Structure formats: structure tokens, C-alpha cells
Amino acid sequence: MSDAPSLNTPRLIDPFARTISYLRLSVTDRCDFRCVYCMAENMTFLPKKDLLTLEELDRMCSAFISLGIEKLRITGGEPLVRRGIMTFFNAMSRHLESGALKELTLTTNGSQLARFATDLHAAGVRRINVSLDTLDAEKFARVTRWGRLDQVLKGIEAARNAGLRVKINTVALKGFNEDELFALTDWCAREDMDLTFIEVMPMGDLGEEQDRIGQYWSLEDLRAQLEDRFTLTDLSESTGGPARYVRVAETGQKIGMITPLSHNFCSSCNRVRMNCTGELYMCLGQEDNMSLRDILRAHPDDDAPLHAAIRRAIGQKPEEHSFDYSDDQIAGQMSRHMSHTGG
């Protein structure tokens, strides 16, 4: 039986007439890195009993897919550190085969790709995002606290050899990777990998040693620096995410820019996020959420209450987030860490 929504099944439409077709699902809050803009060094993670089981993740995602979700991105923490995670990816492949799901993908720090790249491709994954903020091994160790650059580069190579298209996600960090702007751009051009820059977002308390304002590098400034060397042409295309894209005439490569602070992208938002305990966040930059775990567990043989709850949640999706760094103040900071919601 197909999991695709029937012609009589209303799609998920939010109060601002946006069709919600994209679910970003965190399968764990744990990670083998401690990136300075994402986590405190000494994190307290969720009790494992609170996490959705792999079977519950399957049922939850299948419910969303039956209501019109066509793109599923798996995130964390680091999704590939979750024990048995390939069981879940293999289960989701049936929705690709049925045609209900158009894309199954993930965002990863790359540390485990050498182990899993071939299996991910076999499960139907064709594109992945790899988070990488520097090509300098010493700086990489500093920004990730626990990571090794050579391990990630070997993972990227394994992914490409397995047939996965790799896009690099780089968080723009003032005073950290400004001097690598062109090195990162040139490397991605040589390796035929797309590149997306992301403004640092005010998510979670990182401790007194981390200064949010000091980390923030506006992508308006980053783009101006690129335009000193390259000819950039704005592209109208979208991959279903928040990035705006440009084409670099001199290299032919595509560069994306995700600008939640300097340029609000909310008008075209088509996504919601779920964390590993079943809390659905209708907006990354708002605290409002709806817990679906208890509903799912209370009705093991009936998806109707879960479907109804999902629709209620989408009906509460706000118009926009509230991130703001203007006037050297942080407004709209979220109490939860990015690893809790999913990157």
C-alpha cells in the first residue's frame, strides 16, 4: 500500500498559506564533536529512555510522509553516532521506492562517513551536507574541541567515492575563518562541491567563554568580499531550504548563503523540525513546540490521533523567527542548543 497522500488528503498548510513539505529530524542529541558555536564543552545529554526508538522514528516519519512531507533530512547532534541508525535509513528507503518521499538526506560532521557512506548510498541517499568550518587542522581541532580534520576529509572522500554528492556547510565566524574565505571557496571549486555559508545563530548557552556577538560575521560582509574577486550572479533556484544561491562566473560553482540574522528567509519556509524525543518545533527561532511522543505511544495501533496532532502543530507555525543581533545586542536567543533541535 502506498504511503503517498491520496488526492483527498489535505496537505500540511500553515496559517500563512505555506505548504510544509520538508521535515528535519534529529535522531540524537549526542555528538562526537563539541563545536564552540553549537555546544558547551561539558554537555548534559538526554536520558536514552526519553529518545524515540528507531521503530518509533520510522512510524513518526511515515505519518509525516503520509501527510505530504516529501523531503526528509536526518540530523543530530551527529546522526551517524546513533546505534543502529542504518536500520532506520534502510526502513525509510521504502518511501523512496514508493515515490511518496522525493529525497532522503542528512547533515553530518563527516567523522563517521568512511564507515557509512556506501550503506547510505545503498539506502537511497544521494546528497549529503557536511559541516566544515576550516581547512586548517589546528583551527579545526580548536573549533570542534574534539575533532580531527583528516578523519573528516577521509570521510568526504569516501562519500564521493560511494556516489554521494557532497555540499559543504561553513559557519561564518568572525575572527576565525574570515581569512579562509577564498581558500574554502577555491577548494570546493576544485573538488566540484557546492558550498553554503551560514550565519551563526543564537542557540543555547555556550558558557562565559563564548561571545555570541563576537562570533557573528554578517554574510552581507562576506558576500562583499567575494565580489571583490569574483562575479556573482543571483540564482532563483531553491533546494527546499533557507539558502539563497549565487553562481560564481569565474569558477562555475554554486555558493549558498543562509542569513537568519542579516536577511530574514521566513516567507518561503516550508519546513518543520523534530528532535529526538518527538518534540516538533514549527520554527527554529521560536520556543513553541508540540510533543508528539506521548500521543504516538498512547495509540500504538491508530495513527489518526498522531495525524490530528501534526495538523494542529502546523496550524500554530509562526510567520517568522525572532533572531536579531542589531545594536550589538542578542534578541531572540533560544534556550535550547542547536544539537537539541537538530542542525
**What pLDDT does residue 340 have?**
54
Q: Is residue 13 part of a domain?
A: no
Counting the structural domains of the chain, the total is 1
**Residue 167 in this model has a pLDDT that exceeds 70:** yes
Residues 30-60 have pLDDT tens digits of: 999 999 888 888 888 899 899 999 999 999 9
Q: Is residue 167 part of a domain?
A: yes
Q: What is the DSSP letter of 327?
A: G
End-to-end, the C-alpha distance of the chain in Å comes to 33
Tell me how far apart the alpha carbons of residues 172 and 223 are, in angstroms, rounded to a whole number: 11
**Residue 108 in this model has a pLDDT that exceeds 60:** yes
**What pLDDT does residue 156 have?**
98
**What pLDDT does residue 9 have?**
64
Comparing 22-31, 59-68, 208-217, the range with the smallest average pLDDT is: 208-217
**CB-CB contact of 193 with 167 (8 Å):** yes
Q: Which residues are annotated as a binding site for S-adenosyl-L-methionine?
A: 37, 77, 131, 201
Quick one: pLDDT band at residue 237, thresholds 50, 70, 90?
confident
Long-range pairs of 218-224 with CB within 8 A, sequence gap ≥ 24: 218/172, 218/261, 218/262, 219/172, 219/257, 219/258, 219/259, 219/262, 219/263, 220/259, 220/262, 220/263, 222/172, 222/181, 222/197, 222/257, 223/257
Q: Is residue 128 part of a domain?
A: yes
**CB-CB contact of 272 with 289 (8 Å):** no
Q: Which residues are annotated as a binding site?
A: 24, 31, 35, 37-38, 73, 77, 107, 131, 167, 201, 266, 269, 271-273, 283
- Comparing CA positions, the residue from 202, 44, 73 lying closest to residue 131 is 73
**What pLDDT does residue 205 have?**
53
Q: Which residues are annotated as a binding site for [4Fe-4S] cluster?
A: 31, 35, 38, 266, 269, 283
**What pLDDT does residue 158 have?**
98
Q: Is residue 6 part of a domain?
A: no
Mean pLDDT of 296-316: 97
Report the CATH number at residue 283.
3.20.20.70
Q: Which residues are annotated as a binding site for GTP?
A: 24, 73, 107, 167, 271-273
Length of the chain: 343
Mean pLDDT of 224-250: 89
With a threshold of 0.75, does the pTM exceed it? Answer: yes
Residue 327 domain boundaries: 22-341
- Comparing CA positions, the residue from 239, 175, 258, 260 lying closest to residue 211 is 175
For helices 219-229 and 181-191, angle between their N-to-C axes, nearest 10 degrees:
70
Cβ burial of 119 (10 Å; 0-12, 13-18, 19+) is middle
**What pLDDT does residue 323 have?**
47
Q: Is residue 3 part of a domain?
A: no
Interacting residues of 336 by C-beta distance below 8 A, sequence separation 6+: 203, 204, 287
Q: Is residue 8 part of a domain?
A: no
Q: Is residue 4 part of a domain?
A: no
DSSP 70-108: -EEEEESS-GGGSTTHHHHHHHHHHHHHHTS-SEEEEEE
Q: Is residue 88 part of a domain?
A: yes
**Residue 333 in this model has a pLDDT that exceeds 70:** no
Instruction: Tell me the three cell numbers of residue 217.
Output: 560575521
